[in-house]
């Protein structure tokens, strides 16, 4: 019993140090109050997301409150935490820098520093200008820097950053196109064989018919990247295979939007995505949460962090993988409402930034498809940021 209490205390300390804290904490709410129940959920009191409110209003309330109530700080949080927030809200995600609030993305692009925000010049030279490519430094499994190959490119692409956007790092200035070109050059050097974020990033800037030569002389295509991802075990991949499936679904959507055909690896990817949608629905719990074992088997957890991570990651995948008919089905809305309740009820509790902002990103994508686009409030820039130009 003492060991269990000690472990819980240490876990809380870790979250207090590196988790996503509330900017205006509310006192006296123990984590245990937010344990999940598998009973069907009913309308909540106290302004929380309830079944009687229209879903679009519920989503706006939860997401607006999340943006307003939690703040990350440049002196306390690393790039891993901040980039997850940027992935969810793009330029609207705020960061406190020396007591001032600014756009986290603008801060980083303009040369701001964070622990784990590390870049290095590459060897993929632009044939026209001779300018080198640039790569984000890989820190495998890191909770400070880029923990997966091409993770930063995947998240910057998610924000809709154009390829000509400049990134200042120290005395150097490069463009996102320089990063894309280096990712293409490095694809054969990926010793982990993990291409989930590579697919997310490259498919945003290259047509699905694109082919290129990597540094080792091998020829690559999107179909080859898809083949590689299909060869990985779903249930042993990162976060229950959700990132792998998200990358496949996103690349598949873009391929079909370009009049691509469902043949070869693309057809197998479509089967994999559709099966995962069926598995998520089959293993959904009565309270709207998804299985704590993701797509592998049924499972419900009374732990808030486990529920938020599993349900949030699965929901993020569904937000891009479901067609319009599936997206409007009641089981998807139940999951959205459950996520909103979790986020609302835990707003005074330190949470893992990865779980929190993957859940938020799923809700943002779902809201955009269900209710139409909207602009999120961009933080007030209290200090001018330096201009940048590539060289």
- Give the rounded percent of residues in the chain with a pLDDT score beyond 90: 73
Residue 43 has pLDDT above 60, yes or no: no
- The more confident residue out of 164 and 348 is 164
**249-270: pLDDT as tens digits:** 999 999 999 999 999 999 999 9
- Give the rounded percent of residues in the chain with a pLDDT score beyond 70: 83
- The more confident residue out of 303 and 35 is 303
**18-30: pLDDT as tens digits:** 466 543 333 223 3
Give pairs for 72-75: CB < 8 Å, separation 24+.
72/20, 72/21, 72/96, 72/104, 72/353, 73/97, 74/98, 74/107, 74/112, 74/113, 74/114
| Cα separations in angstroms, 194 against 111, 234, 245, 247, 332 | 29, 12, 12, 11, 29
Per-residue model confidence (pLDDT) at position 52: 63
Tell me the C-alpha distance between 344 and 48, whole Å.
6
Residue 355 has pLDDT above 60, yes or no: yes
Per-residue model confidence (pLDDT) at position 387: 35
Tell me the C-alpha distance between 233 and 219, whole Å.
24
Cβ burial of 172 (10 Å; 0-12, 13-18, 19+) is middle
Per-residue model confidence (pLDDT) at position 250: 98
> Does an H or E element contain 82, and which?
helix 79-89
Cβ contacts of residue 378 below 8 Å, gap of 6+?
Answer: 91, 92, 103
**151-193: pLDDT as tens digits:** 999 999 999 999 999 999 999 999 999 999 999 999 999 988 8
Tell me the C-alpha distance between 278 and 182, whole Å.
37
Residue 146 banded pLDDT, cuts 50, 70, 90: very high
């Amino acid at each position: 019993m003492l060991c269990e209490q000690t472990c819980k205390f240490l876990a809380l300390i870790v979250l207090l140090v590196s988790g996503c804290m509330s900017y205006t904490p509310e006192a006296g709410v123990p984590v245990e109050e937010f344990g999940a129940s598998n009973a069907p959920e009913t309308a909540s009191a106290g302004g929380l997301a309830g079944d009687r409110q229209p879903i679009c209003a519920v989503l706006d309330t939860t997401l607006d409150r999340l943006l307003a109530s939690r703040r990350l700080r440049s002196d306390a949080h690393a790039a891993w935490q901040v980039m997850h927030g940027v992935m969810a809200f793009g330029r609207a995600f705020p960061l406190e820098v020396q007591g001032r609030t600014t756009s986290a993305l603008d801060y980083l692009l303009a040369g701001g520093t964070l622990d784990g925000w590390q870049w290095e010049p590459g060897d993929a030279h632009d044939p026209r200008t001779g300018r080198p490519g640039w790569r984000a430094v890989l820190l495998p499994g890191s909770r400070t820097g880029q923990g997966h190959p091409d993770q930063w490119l995947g998240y910057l692409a998610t924000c809709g950053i154009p390829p000509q956007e400049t990134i200042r790092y120290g005395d150097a200035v490069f463009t996102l196109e320089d990063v894309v070109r280096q990712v293409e050059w490095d694809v054969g050097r990926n010793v982990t064989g993990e291409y989930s974020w590579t697919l997310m990033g490259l498919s945003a800037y290259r047509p699905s018919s694109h082919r290129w030569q990597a540094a080792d002389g091998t020829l690559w295509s999107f179909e080859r990247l898809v083949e590689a991802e299909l060869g990985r075990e779903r249930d042993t991949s990162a976060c229950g295979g959700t990132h792998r499936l998200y990358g496949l679904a996103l690349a598949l959507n873009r391929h079909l939007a370009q009049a691509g055909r469902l043949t070869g690896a693309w057809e197998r990817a479509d089967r994999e995505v559709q099966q995962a949608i069926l598995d998520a629905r089959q293993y959904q719990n009565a309270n709207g949460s998804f299985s704590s074992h993701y797509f592998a088997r049924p499972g419900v957890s009374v732990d808030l962090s486990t529920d938020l991570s599993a349900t949030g990651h699965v929901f993020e995948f569904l937000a891009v993988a479901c067609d319009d008919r599936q997206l409007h089905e009641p089981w998807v809305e139940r999951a959205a409402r459950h996520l909103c309740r979790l986020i609302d009820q835990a707003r005074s509790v330190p949470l893992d930034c990865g779980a929190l902002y993957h859940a938020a990103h799923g809700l943002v994508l779902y809201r955009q498809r269900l209710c139409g686009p909207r602009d999120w409030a961009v933080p007030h820039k209290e200090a001018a940021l330096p201009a940048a130009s590539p060289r």
